[in-house]
Amino acid sequence: MNPRASLSTLTRKPWLWSFLAALLIWLATIAFTGGAGAGSLLSGALSFSAFFVIVGIGQMFVITTGPGNIDLSIPANIALSGAIGMKLMNGDPGLIWLGVLGVFCSGLLVGCSNYALIRLLRIPPIIATLSASFLLQSMAIAYGRSVRVQPPEIFYQFCTGNLWGVPYLAISVVVLAVLMAVVLNRTLYGRWVIAIGQNPRAAELAGGRIGRVRFATYVLSALLASLCGLLLAGFSGGASLSMGDEYLLASIAVVVIGGTSVAGGFSNVPGIWGASLFLYLLVSMLNTFGTSAGVRMILTGLIIIAVITAVSGRRSARSV
């Protein structure tokens, strides 16, 4: 095969640009530090990015189903799930199964409730999921206001340990991402998700159960957010009410930067990993450079806008 043609084909992959941006940020950071801490920075990026990937995949499925579909209940769901998981485990390794079961049951109820508000009450998704987040946050406050409960030691070791410098958590989330990519591209459900996002009317005429597919998608997003809350609580040594705050905009940013179309009907899983690494490394770079909190937030926003614009521009050019 022609090497030039192979390179051209590779550069048209939407996920490539997020990884390239992450690589450039990492190189700029280690150049500034003279190479000190390059390995630990990369290991930390893999650990923290794993949480962005988990919620980003769920948000990606929701956004892919078409314009207007979005899940804003993710931060509150993370806080509630973390509190439920830690309380049910109660620091006992023998109760890890109970904590996991409780968290997934909670996620299932959250997903069903979100879609019930959307479907039965005819509330737009952005309003329905935002309203649900207030209820979930109130429940998290009522349920998790007591003394912080530490996770079982073996669970903590899984969330923070590593194999030859690669975090167990990152390895597990890579496996999860591969599984979700298969679901998206190789299963009937995933194909209907894409088809509905491209043209709901045509998908319905072709026999697609739009309501069922969207219901399953909101449930999937809630389950993944609950999983993130459980793992984040284990990683942090306990749950806190504010631990999901940064995942509202981040869950949307990693989807868009990763190459998924906000208009629906087009998405890819690998780009979410690249975008998650980019976001973490960007903040780390600005911290290394010694920028103040205000300047850091402004620069982060501007750089994210620039990357999203560049990615959107390439996607538009390909569609012409």
CA end-to-end span of the chain: 26
Mean pLDDT of the chain: 84
Cβ(217)–Cβ(62) below 8 Å: yes
Q: What is the pLDDT of residue 319?
A: 44
Q: Name the residue with tokens 């904590």.
A: 99
The SS3 of residue 167 is strand
Q: Given pLDDT bands bounded at 50, 70 and 90, which one contains residue 32?
A: confident
Kindly state the average pLDDT of the residues 25-45.
82
Q: What is the pLDDT of residue 316?
A: 47
Q: What is the pLDDT of residue 265?
A: 78
The tokens for 29 are 């950071």
DSSP letter for each residue of 206-265: TT--HHHHHHHHHHHHHHHHHHHHHHHHHHHTS--TTTTTTHHHHHHHHHHHTT--TTSS
Measured from the Cβ of residue 101, the count of other Cβ atoms closer than 10 Å reads 13
Measured from the Cβ of residue 214, the count of other Cβ atoms closer than 10 Å reads 23
CA distance 311 to 257: 7
Q: Residue 28 pLDDT > 50, yes or no?
A: yes
Cβ(193)–Cβ(44) below 8 Å: no
The SS3 of residue 1 is coil
Count of residues making up the chain: 320
Q: What is the pLDDT of residue 320?
A: 40
Q: What is the pLDDT of residue 58?
A: 94
Q: What is the pLDDT of residue 4?
A: 57
CA distance 140 to 100: 17
Indicate if the alpha-carbon torsion angle 44, 51, 287, 148 is positive or negative.
negative
Specify the higher pLDDT residue, 202 or 220.
Answer: 220
Per DSSP, helices labelled H in the chain are: 3-11, 16-33, 38-64, 74-89, 96-119, 125-144, 153-160, 168-186, 188-198, 200-205, 210-236, 247-257, 270-288, 293-319
Domains, the chain, ordered by start: 14-25+38-319 (1.10.3470)
For the stretch 164-196, pLDDT in tens is: 888 999 999 999 999 999 999 899 999 999 999
Burial 151-180, CB ≥16 within 10 A → b, else e = bbeebbebbbeeeeeebbbbeebeebbeeb
How far is C-alpha 11 from the geometric centre of its chain's CA atoms? 24
Q: What is the pLDDT of residue 317?
A: 44
Q: What is the pTM of this model?
A: 0.89
Q: What is the pLDDT of residue 263?
A: 76
Cβ(271)–Cβ(220) below 8 Å: no
Q: What is the pLDDT of residue 150?
A: 87
Q: Given pLDDT bands bounded at 50, 70 and 90, which one contains residue 300?
A: low
Query: Which residue type is seen at 42?
Result: L
Kindly state the average pLDDT of the residues 142-147.
63
Closest residue by Cα to residue 139 from 75, 77, 88, 228? 77
Cβ(286)–Cβ(30) below 8 Å: no
Q: Residue 7 pLDDT > 50, yes or no?
A: no
Burial 182-191, CB ≥16 within 10 A → b, else e = ebbeeeeebe
